[in-house]
């Protein structure tokens, strides 16, 4: 987040940088929830 803040303020391009940060966080949370779902099915089947 700090990297994005610095880049957004030095380049005067907040939309591009904060949008990228949003997408990256979204991918991270989706990946975490997918892993959780995979673990859940794996535990249930065991």
Partner 1 sequence: MFDFSLISDNASVLLRGLALTVQICAMGICLSLIGGGLLLAFRSCLGRGSAWLYDVYVTVFRGTPFLVQIYLVYFGGPYIGLDFSAEVVGIVGLAMYGSAYFAEIFRAGVEAISRGQLEAARDLGLTRQQTLRMVVIPQMFARCIPPLVGQTVILVKESSVLSIITVPELMTAAMRIANESFSILEPYLVLALSYWALTLLVSRAGRWMERRYTQHLSLKV
Which of positions 10-29 make contact with partner 1 (CB under 8 A)? 14-15, 18-19, 21-22, 25-26, 29
Q: Rg of the chain's alpha carbons, rounded to an integer?
A: 16
SS (H, E, C) the chain: CHHHHHHHHHHCCHHHHHHHHHHHHHHHHHHHHHHHHHHHHHHHHC
Minimum gap (Å) between residue 39 Cβ and partner 1: 19
36 binds partner 1 (CB under 8 A): no
Which residue number, 12 or 46, has a Cβ lying nearer to partner 1?
Answer: 12
Interface ranges with partner 1 (CB under 8 A): 1, 5, 8, 14-15, 18-19, 21-22, 25-26, 29-30
């Amino acid at each position: 987040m700090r990297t994005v803040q610095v880049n957004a303020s030095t380049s005067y391009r907040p939309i591009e940088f904060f949008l990228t940060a949003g997408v990256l966080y979204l991918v991270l949370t989706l990946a975490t929830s997918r892993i959780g779902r995979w673990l859940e099915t794996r535990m249930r089947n065991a």
